[in-house]
């Protein structure tokens, strides 16, 4: 007999987000390649930052521009304290500022859709619409010996 664990959704808050300088790689991939792709991207971006002598200014993130049956259009990387130049497929850009629905997802990544559904419900209940690509900030490193039930992911979804 399987048991479905009920997800506890953290409160969703409307916050004003400050723009952040970031360094990323953007790719369109299949849904089942997200974890592997993010690991590869973070490694490439971290190596680039180390080579140019720049420290990340926060944990890694990924931003999702679209998700369809055909694939996921995302970029991923690290925030940096000041604008820098990109190189090759590594792009320097900015996470947007403005109003956003913000919450925490505590738990394994396979339950993230439930948290996103709660954010969409919150938007409907608060007469808001998505105002751009959402992003996730990974505050916990999902190492093989870490407990997925304790992984902390901050979700930021611009609204209008």
- For the cut 50, the answer to whether the pLDDT of residue 1 exceeds it is no
Question: Residue 22 falls within a domain, yes or no?
Answer: yes
Question: Tell me, what CATH number does 64's domain have?
Answer: 3.20.80.10
pTM exceeds 0.85 for this model: yes
Specify whether the CB–CB gap between 10 and 105 falls below 8 A: yes
Phi (first) and psi of residue 109, to 5 degrees: -65, -25
Q: In this predicted model, what pLDDT tens digit does every residue of 93-134 receive, in sequence order?
A: 999 999 999 999 999 999 999 999 999 999 999 999 999 999
Location of structure tokens 């619409």: 129
Number of domains in the chain: 1
Average pLDDT over residues 37-51: 97
Mean pLDDT of the chain: 94
Domain membership flag for residue 8: no
Tell me which residue range forms the domain holding 74: 13-158
3 in any annotated domain: no
Residue 1 lies in a domain: no
Domain assignment present for 147: yes
- pLDDT tens readout for residues 63-97: 999 999 889 999 999 999 999 999 999 999 999 99
pLDDT value at residue 134: 98
6 lies in some domain: no
Radius of gyration of the chain measured on its C-alpha atoms: 16
Quick one: what percent of the chain has pLDDT higher than 90? 89
* pLDDT given for residue 144 in this prediction: 87
Q: What is the DSSP string of 5-63?
A: PPPPPPPPEEEEEPPEEEEEEEEEE-GGGHHHHHHHHHHHHHHHHHHHT---SS--EEE
| Cβ(136)–Cβ(62) below 8 Å | yes
CA distances from 42 to 37, 119, 134, 140 (A): 9, 26, 18, 14
Let me know the angle formed at the C-alpha of 97 by 94 and 99, rounded to the nearest 5 degrees.
150
């Amino acid at each position: 007999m399987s048991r479905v664990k009920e997800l506890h959704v953290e409160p969703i808050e409307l916050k004003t987000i400050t723009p952040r300088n970031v360094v990323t790689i953007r790719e369109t991939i299949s849904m089942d390649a997200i974890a592997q792709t993010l690991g590869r991207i973070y490694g490439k971006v971290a190596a680039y930052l180390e080579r140019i002598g720049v420290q990340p200014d926060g944990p890694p993130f990924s931003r999702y521009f679209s998700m369809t049956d055909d694939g996921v259009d995302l970029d991923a990387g690290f925030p940096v304290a000041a604008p820098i130049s990109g190189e090759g497929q590594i792009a320097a850009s900015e996470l947007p500022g403005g109003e956003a629905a913000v919450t925490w997802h505590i738990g394994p990544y396979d339950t993230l859709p439930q948290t996103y559904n709660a954010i969409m419900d919150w938007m409907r209940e608060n007469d808001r619409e998505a105002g751009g690509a959402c992003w996730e900030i990974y505050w916990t490193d999902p190492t093989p010996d870490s407990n997925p039930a304790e992984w902390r992911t901050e979700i930021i979804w611009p609204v209008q």
